Amino acid sequence: MTAPHPRPATDAAAFLALLFVNAVAVYAPGAVWVVSQGGGGRSYFFSPVALPLVLAKVRSPGIAACVLGAFLAAVALASMLLRRSLWGWTAAPAALFALCLAQGLYAARLLASVSPL
């Protein structure tokens, strides 16, 4: 016998809850490294994708917004696909947190090593 399919409202609530957990996991590391850099606002907003933006030397806010949008869309898709999985509620947010923290700290190190003109 198979388990009954969850009601759509319950499924949508699980997706939104996991999306919130993943968003916190993605943006929480920015509070560590952006503050240590003395930045805020825009730096914090783009913190989940700081390293790719720094390495690609992106200067256009439009391109940076597209990169961030693609990343957040991937996080939303992963949240939708993993909403019923225990792994999706434990390992995925932990992996997102670790990934965003590592790339943010590395981007901060790269930015600190660049001498201002």
- How confident is the model over 25-45, as pLDDT tens digits? 999 998 887 777 776 677 788
pTM as predicted: 0.83
Q: For 114, phi and psi rounded to 5 degrees?
A: -80, 125
Residue 7 has pLDDT above 90, yes or no: no
Give domain status of residue 114, yes or no. Answer: no
Residue 86 has pLDDT above 80, yes or no: yes
Give domain status of residue 19, yes or no. Answer: no
Residue 28 CA, chain-centre distance (Å), reads 9
3-class SS at 41?
coil
Token digits of residue 41: 């606002």
Give domain status of residue 66, yes or no. Answer: yes
- The total number of structural domains that make up the chain: 1
Give domain status of residue 35, yes or no. Answer: no
In the predicted model, what is the mean pLDDT of the chain? 87
Give domain status of residue 3, yes or no. Answer: no
pLDDT tens, position by position, 93-109: 999 999 999 999 998 88
